Copies of this chain bind each other. A is one copy, B any other.
Amino acid sequence: MCAAPLLPLEDALRILAAAFPPPATPEIRADRDDPALDLSSMDGAALRSQDGAAPRRVLGTLFAGDDPAAFRVEPGTCVRIMTGAALPPGADAVVPVEDLVQGPQGLTPAAPPLPGAHVRPRGSQARKGDLLLPPGAPAGAGHTGLLAQVGLPTPPLARLRVGIVPTGDEITAHPAPHQIRDSNGPMLEALAHALGAEVRRLPPLPDRPEAVRDFLLGLGDLQILLTSGGVSAGDKDHLPRVLEAMGARILFHRIRLKPGKPMLTALLDGRVILGLPGNPVSSYMNALLFLPVAMAGLQGRRAPDPWKEGRLAAAVPNPGDRPLLHPCRREGRDLHPLPSQGSADLVRLAQADAFAWVPEGGMGAGPTRYLDTL
């Protein structure tokens, strides 16, 4: 019905990742020398290197955070020191505990220490005012830690607001034999929640273009919308046409993947619309692939890479003209194919530890990439 060539999955992932502006993170400069003093990098004794292997009387102990001015190391003395503690005035080296001998005259180094041994010198990491990270660096826990270290405000712990709406007149809470329950809604809700989103599950959308349009006009403060169904090329698949008519920027529609061909991704008024196929496994698979990319894009984090390298333990046929993601039980890196009945097979999805990549034409046992389930 639609002759447009299908987009390879890697292109689709790249296009979505590229749809976001660079991270809005600030420049980070050192607010003081780092470390701010000469610090010990070992538990041991702080002493004068020029006094060689002579015994030293212990003046006391310095822990990380202690003011080193409490002591002054003179010839014949030393201070016990813990990792991270600042060197007391007079000391220029640290001898680790394991190289110290306790005797009647104090502590004796096993060998003459070198100047600066086991010392992290003041400013060796950075000088006050140094540019540590330029603006626009990816956000993340490490970035937050660095902001805190130099005394800059850390970003608020926001959760992305993700809406989930199944589409289709066949969905009902108490189904007749020709109807079905909504399994995609709870499944996608669990997936998005596990990915850290604040999820709002919305009632199923009927198969009418006006209903789809009215719904899309009332998304409120949602930042990402997951729809399931209504995105293929059938007469009741209104989402692509309605989005286009509303001026959404369609990033892509229809990808070269089984299950999941009808997948659509669009930007609408700053929101990300992930139009997932209606079949449960297709819906799950595309959410697993694209939702983390959309979330990272909106949060200024690095685009995640979902692939791992494993080994298919048995042959999997794939007569179609699209690469297949096949449910597997995983043991270490060995992927044991489950007897999937296709994109409606929620049992195999629930059993799967991973989905293995099987190229067009199928493949025998051997190395391939895979996705872990969530």
Check if B157 sits within 8 Å of A187, measured CB to CB.
no
Q: Which of B82, B148, B178, B185 contacts A181 (CB 8 A)?
A: B148
- The distance from the CB of A110 to the nearest CB of chain B, in whole angstroms, is 15
Residue A220 lies at the interface, judged by CB distance under 8 Å to chain B: no
Check if B142 sits within 8 Å of A344, measured CB to CB.
no
Check if B190 sits within 8 Å of A154, measured CB to CB.
yes
Contact mask for chain A residues 170-205; partner B; CB cutoff 8 A; 1 contact, 0 none: 110001111111111111111101111001000000
Q: What residues of chain B lie closer than 8 Å to A35, measured between beta carbons?
A: 344
Which one, A49-57, A120-128, A242-250, A312-320, is touching chain B?
A120-128
Check if B193 sits within 8 Å of A37, measured CB to CB.
no
Q: Which of B193, B233, B304, B344 contacts A196 (CB 8 A)?
A: B193
CA distance A373 to B304 in the complex (A): 9
Residue A135 lies at the interface, judged by CB distance under 8 Å to chain B: no
Check if B142 sits within 8 Å of A346, measured CB to CB.
yes
CA distance A280 to B108 in the complex (A): 33
Residue A278 lies at the interface, judged by CB distance under 8 Å to chain B: yes
Residue of B nearest to A143 (CB): B350
Contact mask for chain A residues 226-241; partner B; CB cutoff 8 A; 1 contact, 0 none: 0000001111100000
Check if A234 sits within 8 Å of B83, measured CB to CB.
yes
State how many copies of this chain the complex holds: 2
Q: What residues of chain B lie closer than 8 Å to A235, measured between beta carbons?
A: 61, 63, 82
- The distance from the CB of A95 to the nearest CB of chain B, in whole angstroms, is 14
Residue of B nearest to A304 (CB): B372
- The distance from the CB of A348 to the nearest CB of chain B, in whole angstroms, is 9
Residue A264 lies at the interface, judged by CB distance under 8 Å to chain B: no
Contact mask for chain A residues 40-80; partner B; CB cutoff 8 A; 1 contact, 0 none: 00010000000000000000010111111000000000000
**Size bracket, chain A contacts:** 35 or more
Check if A347 sits within 8 Å of B302, measured CB to CB.
no
Check if A178 sits within 8 Å of B146, measured CB to CB.
no
Q: What residues of chain B lie closer than 8 Å to A301, measured between beta carbons?
A: 194, 374
Residue A352 lies at the interface, judged by CB distance under 8 Å to chain B: yes
Residue A102 lies at the interface, judged by CB distance under 8 Å to chain B: no
Check if B32 sits within 8 Å of A177, measured CB to CB.
yes
Check if B168 sits within 8 Å of A65, measured CB to CB.
yes
Asked, given contacts A157-B190, A187-B142, whether A181 binds B341 with beta carbons under 8 Å apart, the answer is no
Check if B236 sits within 8 Å of A82, measured CB to CB.
yes
Residue A4 lies at the interface, judged by CB distance under 8 Å to chain B: no
CA distance A313 to B120 in the complex (A): 28
Q: What residues of chain B lie closer than 8 Å to A146, measured between beta carbons?
A: 183, 346-347, 349-350
Check if B196 sits within 8 Å of A63, measured CB to CB.
no
Residue of B nearest to A139 (CB): B190
Check if A350 sits within 8 Å of B142, measured CB to CB.
yes
Residue A133 lies at the interface, judged by CB distance under 8 Å to chain B: yes
Residue of B nearest to A201 (CB): B157
Q: What residues of chain B lie closer than 8 Å to A352, measured between beta carbons?
A: 142
Q: What residues of chain B lie closer than 8 Å to A341, measured between beta carbons?
A: 124-125
Check if A149 sits within 8 Å of B65, measured CB to CB.
no
User: From residue 265 to 323 of chain A, which have CB atoms closer than 8 A to chain B?
Assistant: 278-280, 284, 301-302, 304-305, 307-309
Task: For the complex of A and B, list the 3 residue pairs with the smallest distance between their C-beta atoms, beginning with the closest.
Answer: A65-B170, A145-B187, A141-B191
Can you report 5 residue pairs joining A to B where beta carbons are below 8 Å apart? A37-B178, A141-B188, A141-B190, A145-B183, A145-B284
